[in-house]
Structure 1
């Protein structure tokens, strides 16, 4: 029997640039996937943000979220995640309050620290904003802007500005999710009571350990629930699903390692094929019953009540739309019945 808060099942979209796609076609496909998700019964969709990389063609998750909120009626739309070191926190707070107001409260903001990439040079924010203290200062200012208070003021060091009115004001006070891959960011989020966005690379045991660390470092249960991201592909057999992903994903995953560091040094290289095999071993890939079992195990092991399913791995638009439809028809309902 289901226990605890309602299980929420969302899409996670990267707008990946697969072979044969133009940038516009990749973005258009992502829009189609979100609209299809609403029809299929998903609760929401989360959008990734990348700069100067073919891994993802969306440079502003907030802008694309605004478009999708206008194209859908029920779906919640979130950012997983907006790269906070690239932005002024108050500009992001204003945009968040705006989308919250015009969508009837359907927008969810997730932020990430990102990496020491050339983005910081291009946007003029600098390496300090990537550092732990700089990211923490930006996060605190963002939270102040979303607190529901009518005004906000900067500090004398990183954000020196006078007190100004927040227009529009975030009347309800809005939660912020934090993408976390290490203990430093987990502790930072926990100290502020902010829920985590957990990535695809960790298995259930590693995610449970991260959430245990969060609970030890935190101030209590976050206002909104943590979210866990998973590669998901439904097929009639495990072999069919894995073969489809092996055809497309290694080259695409390799593009994720192409980001240029701000200091000009070579980024770390990951064996894309080995990484894919790791993902296949831990995520819901294969027949519907197997997908349900694997996602149910995540919920049971971690206690997470919000699942984000990355559905684009097969690369081809028609195959991805079919994947969304099958997940909605054959996975979502039985999984919700269990939890």
Structure 2
């Protein structure tokens, strides 16, 4: 069981971009020092929910600041990227990091990003399978060509090839049956979000297995981790901070075509996160993380650790998790 930190570079009110990104870097380095197995960065555009527009770029910088843990993207959005360009960047990071880079990819959403980057709504709605196929082919290196509906080009040599063989680790974020089935058919593991309970995550993994030709390893599930002396104290920290981030962050998603999208209530979502995930005393966190790992059977847990908002509180949370929680979780699951 690997345990990683999930860092979306959340912009809490009153903080500027420089401060947020510097704090994200500090949190990543602190996670390695605390014994986390990896860190994962999210990718968003034009919103305060997360101010990292290129998870792979930030991952590359952090790979240079760290020496042991893996660094991944959760996720790089394929609907706004050329898959060969992303594969080249991923292979480069795989090479220079000694195989420590992990690539998570997703479809994204029908957001204004598609208009700004010129990929369009059809690419989001109908082009993900082709994009993922081109990406996986390019990640293997060597010569390739494409003759699809969206991507067509003459044979080229992909350089550099991957250091990891046959390619670096890739996970696919899935929130729909169509994406889940695609990942299963391609033999790729899932990356599941913190908006799900452990039981819901487990059900999606069972559905994935039902569509796969052979067992697939490497599934990643996301949660929230906030440790304090008591459950009440940890819960109060999150309920006092998360809505301040979620309210403007969730509201800033802009649908491209004016379609209506369900709006989460920030307070209720914060309560769901605090009541569903590893929030409480060290023993509370150990019990919840162990339960999530056993219910899902996933190979990695990645934990949102910056829910407190304040940079100093985030670093304290990371250090306490590393000292008081992670060793006990690993021992319980060994």
Task: Give the structure-1-normalised TM-score.
Answer: 0.95
- For residues 183 and 325 of structure 1, the distance between their equivalents in structure 2, rounded to whole angstroms, comes to 38
Residue of 233, 237, 241 corresponding to 1:248: 241
Residue of 298, 306, 311 corresponding to 2:292: 298
SS in 2 for 1:152: strand
Runs (4 or more) in structure 1 with deviation over 2 Å come to 264-268
SS in 2 for 1:154: strand
Residue of 2, 5, 19 corresponding to 1:11: 5
Q: CA deviation at 1:251?
A: 2.4
Are the aligned partners of 2:43 and 2:75 in contact in 1 as well (CA < 8 Å)? yes
Cα deviation digits, residues 76-115 of structure 1 (max 9, x gap): 0000000111000000000000000000000000001110
- For residues 192 and 311 of structure 1, the distance between their equivalents in structure 2, rounded to whole angstroms, comes to 31
Residue of 45, 67, 82 corresponding to 1:88: 82
SS in 2 for 1:211: helix
Residue of 209, 215, 238 corresponding to 2:209: 215
- For residues 203 and 169 of structure 2, the distance between their equivalents in structure 1, rounded to whole angstroms, comes to 23
Give the 5 Å matches for 1:37-186. Answer: 37-131=31-125, 133-148=126-141, 150-171=142-163, 172=165, 173-186=167-180
Q: 2:224 — aligned with what?
A: 231
- For residues 321 and 230 of structure 1, the distance between their equivalents in structure 2, rounded to whole angstroms, comes to 18
SS in 1 for 2:127: helix
Q: CA deviation at 1:156?
A: 4.2
Q: 1:307 — aligned with what?
A: 301
Cα deviation digits, residues 23-81 of structure 1 (max 9, x gap): 11111100000000110001100000000010001000000000000000111000000
Are the aligned partners of 2:99 and 2:168 in contact in 1 as well (CA < 8 Å)? no
Structure 2 residue runs of 5 or longer lacking an equivalent are none
- For residues 125 and 176 of structure 1, the distance between their equivalents in structure 2, rounded to whole angstroms, comes to 23
RMSD: 1.1
Give the 5 Å matches for 1:29-40. Answer: 29-40=23-34
Q: 2:188 — aligned with what?
A: 194
SS in 1 for 2:171: strand
Structure 1 residue runs of 5 or longer lacking an equivalent are 1-6
Cα deviation digits, residues 251-291 of structure 1 (max 9, x gap): 21121232111113454311111111111221000100010
- For residues 279 and 187 of structure 2, the distance between their equivalents in structure 1, rounded to whole angstroms, comes to 33
- For residues 143 and 20 of structure 2, the distance between their equivalents in structure 1, rounded to whole angstroms, comes to 40
- Between stretches 165-174 and 232-241, larger displacement belongs to 165-174
- For residues 146 and 155 of structure 1, the distance between their equivalents in structure 2, rounded to whole angstroms, comes to 17
Are the aligned partners of 1:259 and 1:267 in contact in 2 as well (CA < 8 Å)? no
Q: 1:3 — aligned with what?
A: none
Q: 2:278 — aligned with what?
A: 284
Aligned residues: 330
